[in-house]
């Protein structure tokens, strides 16, 4: 049998905001036992990526383990892949930050281990055609991504050469079948598939695996994957040793020195399959995944002819399907520009202060917060831990806002009252951005004149960190299961399925989330699938007819009597009153249906942001422009969330002290004050209508992927303040609200 080289690439990463105890748990469960096992099996070589967060934690809390890692690296047993120190998605970054993160990773390993890192790990295999130029200029010579991402020119095996502006980058193609089999299938079966690859004439196979998947299953004991009856990794290493006559574990660098490239490729922008499917959204993602499965089966000759031309969507598709990721990404770009501004002022010596050391320290701290806020977990869907989690998004928001506020403090403008108009979200219409010493609000005339982002500097965080409820690829599978017995969670998180591949005809076990929708905890998910008709935000203007109820509003099946939600509002005026307050006025003439008749109604709202207090006001004027009277219900929708926390410390509270849990729906009457309270943080956000309002409230949930299967995830609380409204011909009514913040 022909010799076959095997590259095992292990990526050890943790999402943003992972606490110290959680990092320790992951290390002791998966990462550290793997280091111990490598010392026993001298013939096994691994290529590994360690995210900056884990490395920094090890420096502080497990220096002896870091020394163990350094020794294995220096002995040649482990090859290190650097890359983006903060775990960012490459195409999401401005090039200056991509270069900065790669430089930080290279510098970390050079300073601590005297190591020149030659390879780069791309989180979520997110490829950008400029990658060869970015990595090439920094001396990085190779990376790895899925074979399907390489495009039509990727014949052969091993690795290929990509080029940009004369810079060359070697790309190794990860084997998709083996990536799904390891560590679920039996080691014997894995070796059989590798033998089939060798018989087919392949010279090299690359397998890219998440460290936690390889080391130990989620919620396992710390030794289950390495010892006893479930010692999968040990048995796998033993199987590799037994096959040593023809199967040779190697490093990327060793393969580059021994093998010629299989050719030149120019991959289009792309991302790993699960993220790509989620970026297409709902049914489109399902169809695309089914198409890829049909290609793998190879039963349709006509499909095989076009298969080389199928393209995997790029990460940017996520921006079109995910409003919350789009907003976060735009804030990241804004923060990056602010950090770059501070860096430029320091470089040019144009700062207004002589405190150069202080500014340098502020720049370093802001840069570190920016890089943490760029962690890719907050910018992707389709993986077990991603932007579908409110706490993941919150960590990114908090770090970005912390970085930007740090720049303002360093430059002495944190107490300023500023207003600007720019196309912040790239929709072709200017937004109005108001910054006060307490908060920053983003007002979108093109989205119903709503506030789409409301940031508190002191928390820090985005108070509108909600997720719009949209279709997700696994929802079709949930609906197909309607009426069937609900699946209960198993301790193992594994299931036996058939892999559709000519080299794997037997049953193997893979991660259940790849093929099977599980209903965690026995929850009937079909009753939790609700979709929004508009992008979530604050101060969304509604007109409700008599048939609108709390229940049909919660499920998204209500009738909107007006045409104001998500519609274009005219920006009437932006007033900056000598630095004491900023006023932003918007208006729209629209229709409101009453029975079979349409009435012409004008809504004008004015946001007022004072400089010296952490609040703002919204002053509404609703006018009947028709000569006949109109009877309707006017409502203002406000969607609030910080980090998706639930529990006794987080609740809604009325003026009389009544507390309502966030995960309960209900109706409150004649309120002049309603607060969202997080007592553990000392945080209180209070809505104060001047005219007593009725309130409908309910939790926002999405049915999304998680490490424990597909399950409901809390995304925030929806609050609707509404008033019965009767307007005679040409009559106007005023409704004023105030929003104040204590943090």
Q: What is the pLDDT of residues 494-517, one digit of tens each?
A: 332 223 333 333 333 333 333 344
Say how far apart CA 706 and CA 382 lie, in whole Å. Answer: 9
Note whether 1 and 195 are within 8 A (CB). yes
189 token code pair:
């079966």
Note whether 450 and 443 are within 8 A (CB). yes
CA 594 to chain CA centroid, nearest Å: 42
Say how far apart CA 488 and CA 485 lie, in whole Å. Answer: 9
Query: Does a cis peptide bond (omega within 30 degrees of 0) precede residue 450?
Result: no
In this structure, the number of other CB atoms found within 10 A of the CB of residue 42 comes to: 10
The pTM of the full predicted model, rounded to 2 decimals, is 0.91
3-state secondary structure of 454: strand
Which of 188-202, 301-315, 666-680 comes out lowest in average pLDDT? 301-315
Note whether 104 and 139 are within 8 A (CB). no
Phi, psi angles (nearest 5°) of residue 3: -65, 145
Query: Does a cis peptide bond (omega within 30 degrees of 0) precede residue 164?
Result: no
Query: Does a cis peptide bond (omega within 30 degrees of 0) precede residue 78?
Result: no
DSSP string, 570-588: EEEEEEEETTTEEEEEEEE
**In the predicted structure, residue 258 carries a pLDDT above the cut 50:** yes
Q: What is the pLDDT of residues 119-174, one digit of tens each?
A: 999 999 999 999 999 999 999 999 999 988 887 667 778 999 999 999 999 999 99
Q: What are the start-end ranges of the H helices in 349-389?
A: 356-373
Instruction: For 253-286, give the secondary structure using H, E and C.
Output: HHHHHHCCCCCEECCCCECCHHHHHHHHCHHHHH
CA 50 to chain CA centroid, nearest Å: 20
308 token code pair:
């080389």
Percent above pLDDT 70 for the chain: 91
Q: What is the pLDDT of residues 215-252, one digit of tens each?
A: 653 234 444 455 554 588 888 999 999 999 999 999 99
592 token code pair:
């409101």
Q: How many residues does the chain have?
A: 743
In this structure, the number of other CB atoms found within 10 A of the CB of residue 308 comes to: 13
Say how far apart CA 92 and CA 87 lie, in whole Å. Answer: 11
Which of 189-193, 228-232, 391-395 comes out lowest in average pLDDT? 228-232
534 token code pair:
């508009």
CA 736 to chain CA centroid, nearest Å: 36
What integer best gives the mean pLDDT of the chain? 88
Residue whose structure tokens are 């208006």: 587
Closest of 468, 434, 506, 453 to residue 704, by C-alpha: 468
Note whether 9 and 120 are within 8 A (CB). no
Q: What is the pLDDT of residue 352?
A: 53
CA 264 to chain CA centroid, nearest Å: 32
Instruction: For 93-133, give the secondary structure using H, E and C.
Output: CCHHHHHHHHHHHHHHHHHHHCCCCCEEECHHHCECCCHHH
**In the predicted structure, residue 281 carries a pLDDT above the cut 70:** yes
Note whether 145 and 136 are within 8 A (CB). no
Domain 4-13+20-268, CATH class in plain words: alpha beta
Could you tell me the end-to-end alpha-carbon distance of the chain, in angstroms, rounded to an integer? 68
Which of 31-40, 404-413, 498-507, 680-689 comes out lowest in average pLDDT? 498-507
Say how far apart CA 485 and CA 524 lie, in whole Å. Answer: 9
245 token code pair:
């006559």
Say how far apart CA 378 and CA 92 lie, in whole Å. Answer: 11
Q: What is the pLDDT of residue 195?
A: 95
Q: What is the pLDDT of residue 354?
A: 55
Note whether 371 and 88 are within 8 A (CB). yes
Note whether 644 and 717 are within 8 A (CB). no
Say how far apart CA 180 and CA 495 lie, in whole Å. Answer: 12
Residue whose structure tokens are 């004991």: 221
């Amino acid at each position: 049998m022909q010799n076959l080289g095997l590259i095992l690439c292990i990526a050890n990463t943790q999402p943003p905001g992972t606490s110290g105890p959680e990092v320790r748990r992951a290390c002791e469960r998966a990462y550290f036992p793997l280091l111990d096992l490598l010392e026993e099996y001298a013939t096994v070589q691994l290529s590994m990526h360690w995210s900056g967060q884990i490395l920094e934690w090890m420096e502080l809390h497990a220096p002896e383990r870091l020394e163990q890692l350094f020794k294995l690296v220096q002995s040649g047993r482990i090859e290190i892949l650097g890359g983006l120190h903060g775990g960012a998605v490459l195409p999401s970054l401005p090039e200056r930050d991509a270069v900065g993160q790669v430089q930080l990773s290279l510098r970390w390993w050079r300073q601590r281990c005297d190591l020149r890192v030659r390879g780069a790990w791309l989180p979520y295999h997110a490829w950008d055609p400029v990658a060869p130029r970015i990595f090439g200029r920094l001396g990085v010579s190779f990376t790895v991504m899925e074979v399907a991402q390489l495009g039509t020119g990727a014949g052969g095996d091993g690795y290929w050469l990509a080029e940009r502006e004369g810079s060359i980058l070697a790309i190794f193609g990860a084997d998709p079948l083996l990536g799904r089999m390891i560590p679920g299938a039996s080691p014997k079966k894995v070796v059989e598939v590798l033998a089939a690859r060798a018989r087919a004439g392949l010279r090299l196979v690359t397998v890219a695996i998440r460290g936690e998947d390889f080391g130990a299953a989620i919620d396992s004991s710390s030794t289950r994957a390495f010892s006893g009856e479930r010692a999968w990794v040990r048995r796998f290493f033993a199987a590799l040793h037994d096959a040593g006559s023809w199967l040779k574990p190697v490093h990327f660098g060793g393969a580059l020195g021994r093998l010629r490239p299989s050719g030149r490729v120019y991959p289009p922008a792309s991302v790993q399959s699960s993220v790509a499917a989620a970026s297409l959204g709902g049914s489109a993602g399902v169809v695309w995944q089914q198409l890829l499965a049909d290609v793998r089966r190879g039963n349709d000759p006509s499909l095989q002819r076009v298969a080389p031309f199928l393209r995997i969507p790029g990460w940017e598709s996520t921006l079109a399907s995910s409003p919350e990721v789009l907003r976060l990404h735009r804030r990241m770009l804004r923060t990056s520009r602010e950090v770059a501004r501070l860096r430029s002022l320091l470089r040019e010596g144009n700062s207004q202060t002589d405190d150069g050391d202080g500014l340098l320290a502020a720049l370093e701290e802001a840069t570190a917060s920016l890089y943490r806020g760029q962690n890719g977990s907050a910018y992707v869907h389709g993986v077990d831990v991603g932007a579908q989690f409110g706490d993941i998004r919150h960590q990114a928001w908090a770090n970005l806002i912390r970085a930007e506020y740090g720049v303002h403090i360093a430059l002495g403008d944190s107490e300023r009252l500023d207003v600007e108009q720019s196309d912040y979200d790239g929709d072709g219409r200017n937004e109005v951005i108001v910054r006060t010493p307490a908060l920053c609000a983003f007002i979108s005339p093109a989205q119903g004149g709503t506030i789409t982002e409301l940031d508190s500097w002191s928390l820090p965080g985005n108070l509108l960190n909600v997720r719009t409820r949209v279709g997700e690829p696994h929802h079709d599978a949930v609906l197909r299961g309607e009426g069937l017995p609900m699946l209960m969670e198993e301790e193992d998180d594994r299931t036996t399925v058939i892999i559709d591949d000519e080299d794997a005809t037997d049953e193997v076990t893979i991660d259940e989330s790849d093929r099977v929708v599980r209903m965690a905890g026995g929850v009937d998910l079909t009753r939790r699938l609700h979709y929004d008709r508009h992008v979530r935000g604050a101060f969304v203007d509604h007109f409700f007819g008599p048939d609108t109820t709390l229940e049909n509003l919660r499920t998204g099946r209500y009738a909107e009597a007006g045409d104001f939600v998500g519609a274009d509002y005219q920006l009437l005026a932006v007033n900056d009153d000598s630095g004491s307050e900023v006023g932003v006025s918007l208006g729209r003439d629209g229709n409101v249906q009453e029975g079979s008749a349409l009435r012409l109604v004008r809504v004008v709202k004015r946001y007022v942001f004072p400089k010296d207090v952490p609040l703002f006001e919204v002053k509404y004027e609703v006018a009947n422009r028709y000569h006949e009277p109109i009877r309707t219900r006017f409502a203002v929708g406000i969607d609030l969330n910080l980090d998706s926390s639930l529990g006794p410390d987080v609740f809604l509270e009325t003026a009389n002290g009544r507390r309502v849990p966030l995960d309960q729906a209900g109706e409150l009457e004649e309120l002049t004050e309603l607060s969202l309270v997080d007592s553990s943080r000392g945080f209180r956000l209070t809505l104060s209508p001047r005219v007593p309002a009725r309130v409908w409230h309910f939790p926002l949930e999405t049915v999304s992927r998680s490490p424990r299967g597909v399950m409901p995830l809390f995304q925030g609380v929806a609050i609707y303040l509404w008033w019965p409204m009767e307007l005679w011909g040409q009559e106007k009514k005023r409704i004023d609200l105030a929003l104040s913040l204590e943090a």
